[in-house]
Amino acid sequence: MSSAADFSYAPLLPTGPDQTEYRLITDEGVDVVNGPGGRRFLTVDPAALTALTAEAMHDIAHYLRPAHLAQLRSIIDDPAASPNDRFVALDLLRNANIAAGGVLPMCQDTGTAIVMGKRGRHVLTDGSDAEAISRGVWQAYTRLNLRYSQLAPLTMWEERNTGSNLPAQVELYAEDPDGHPDAYKFLFMAKGGGSANKSYLYQETKALLNPTRMMQFLEEKLRLIGTAACPPYHLAVVIGGTSAEYALKTAKYASAKYLDALPTSGSMTAHGFRDLELEAEVLELTRNFGIGAQFGGRYFCHDVRVVRLPRHGASCPVAIAVSCSADRQAVAKITPSGVWLERLETDPARYLPEVTEAQLDTTEVVRVDLNRPMDEIRAELSKYPVKTRLSLTGPLVVARDIAHAKIAERLDAGEPMPQYLRDHAVYYAGPAKTPEGYASGSFGPTTAGRMDAYVEKFQAAGGSMVMLAKGNRSAQVTRSCDQHGGFYLGSIGGPAARLAQDCIKHVEVLEYAELGMEAVWKIDVEDFPAFIVVDDKGNDFFAEVTKPVLTIGSR
């Protein structure tokens, strides 16, 4: 055994000074009192935690960071961006402008509420911090036009929606944030299912730790993320970790820009650091995928964060996470001066270009009348190749996971396919609450892949011949569309508020009203944007862009 090293300590994730611009929420509920030894203590009332949380969850449902909006605008201004890249970026900017009105949230999946806090040693509360924070989550989700997505397990097999979006994920640490004992600092996140489901853990070995193998590995794995989580992404890759769960948590924080102030080189104290050179290389790698901002182009990612962590010699976890086009997070702090929340952009219209959509886009748009019989709709779609951009007008049936499962049970019992799925295209989606005076709440597409197992059964029975959702599909869907003459159309993931305001004109329940947002709906749409992704000839746009093609030398 070699002699032991001298004791030295560094936090695993040492971050630099806080450069955030904050706005004051309130100065009520906080006070400074004298304590033993001449120390001064910050007291925080539970009501202050509740008020901060409710305000934070409101803001991240409706506003984005200025830097994120600037990145969307840069896509529009980039001559190397594809027409589809620019079209998606413009739609997301328009969506942000609508969401900033404070009525329609930017995404219909308003997410799981995640709150991480660091409480300094001179901060005193009554000990009910997690409960007070959860109450703030409850206030936001029950009072705003947000969606309830949390399911309570009643038995191993039976679940029921909690009707409040609780529980929240609340993690609190006893730690002086940024070295300040009289501060309480927070990260608030709303994580939708689409981006949460694109968190990955790979258990690798030392063999991965060379430039050639690493880039080959990342090309293979990053292509598999696909578009179901609504790119352009803020991508995070974490290499190493004292445990698998720590690697995953670090990737989530990095995707939220929470770790941007990490050191950029390592040391023998074994702290984590960012590798800026590898970040640039991985970003360029994603530019060449061809996936782009959902339907072909360069902008699969806005940016990349690569964090290197220490590891056990027998383990090399690699964690990958994304923050999607609904880039919903904000930091906050409580100090002796009051309760402060990160200042997000409340006027995103200033990022919109002055030019018109027609000037930005030279792509021909095919207008499809959904009022026609299904055979005529399919015959029209059959004329065009994958990647063709469409504008849909007419009726759609809306059904997702639970409705599909119930219809599958009916087919298994010998019942016929419901006529509404034979006559109409099916849109995989689930709306947020409908504000007064609106036809619909935020109503963007859900991840198509969750319905893949039903497609062949449904198409064989004459239903789901035209499907509309977001993201890539499995090979079994392509085979079924080839066999039965079906189509999968991709909708832009992200602009749920714009779709609700501009495209969805009427909404009514067709069946399973008791399922709430999981019911079968009929909606009437106008100029609803979509792209042909899988056609009736066995072609799949994503089949080509998900194949690794990289041959790379040393770094």
Q: Which pLDDT band holds residue 552 (cuts at 50, 70, 90)?
A: very low
Residue 504 is predicted with a pLDDT of 93
Q: What pLDDT, in 10s, does the model give residues 321-345?
A: 999 999 999 999 999 999 999 999 9
Structure tokens that stand for 318 in this block: 């690699």
What is the spatial distance between Cα 366 and Cα 524, in angstroms, rounded to a whole number? 18
Specify if 551 maps to a domain: no
CATH number for the domain spanning 415: value is 3.20.130.10
Residues 227, 253: one domain?
A: yes
Residues 264, 132: one domain?
A: no
Q: Which pLDDT band holds residue 553 (cuts at 50, 70, 90)?
A: very low
Q: What pLDDT, in 10s, does the model give residues 145-158?
A: 999 999 999 999 99
Q: Which percentage of the chain shows pLDDT scores above 70?
A: 96
Neighbours of 8 (CB within 10 A): 9
Residues 109, 199: one domain?
A: no
For the cut 70, the answer to whether the pLDDT of residue 56 exceeds it is yes
Average pLDDT, the chain: 93
Q: Which pLDDT band holds residue 545 (cuts at 50, 70, 90)?
A: low
Residues 79, 200: one domain?
A: no
Residue 496 is predicted with a pLDDT of 87
Residues 140, 207: one domain?
A: no
Q: What pLDDT, in 10s, does the model give residues 194-252?
A: 999 999 999 999 999 999 999 999 999 999 998 889 999 999 999 999 999 999 999 99
Specify if 548 maps to a domain: no
Structure tokens that stand for 503 in this block: 């495209």
Residue 361 is predicted with a pLDDT of 52
Instruction: Read off the pLDDT of each residue in 527-548 and give the average, rounded to a whole number.
Output: 86
Specify if 233 maps to a domain: yes
Q: Which percentage of the chain shows pLDDT scores above 90?
A: 86
Task: Report the length, in residues, of the chain.
Answer: 555
Structure tokens that stand for 108 in this block: 């219909």
CA nearest 315: which of 400, 227, 222, 201?
201
Instruction: Read off the pLDDT of each residue in 245-270 and give the average, rounded to a whole number.
Output: 97
Specify if 90 maps to a domain: yes
Report the domain count for the chain.
3
Residues 304, 331: one domain?
A: no
Beta bridge partners of residue 87, listed in sequence order:
none
CATH number for the domain spanning 218: value is 3.30.1330
Residues 186, 261: one domain?
A: no
Residues 88, 186: one domain?
A: yes
Specify if 546 maps to a domain: no
Residues 330, 320: one domain?
A: no
Residues 405, 466: one domain?
A: yes
Specify if 98 maps to a domain: yes
For the cut 70, the answer to whether the pLDDT of residue 363 exceeds it is no
For the cut 70, the answer to whether the pLDDT of residue 527 exceeds it is yes
Contact 198, 143 (CB under 8 A): no
Residues 384, 339: one domain?
A: no
Q: Which pLDDT band holds residue 295 (cuts at 50, 70, 90)?
A: confident
Residues 353, 383: one domain?
A: no
Q: Domain of residue 219: give its range.
A: 193-325
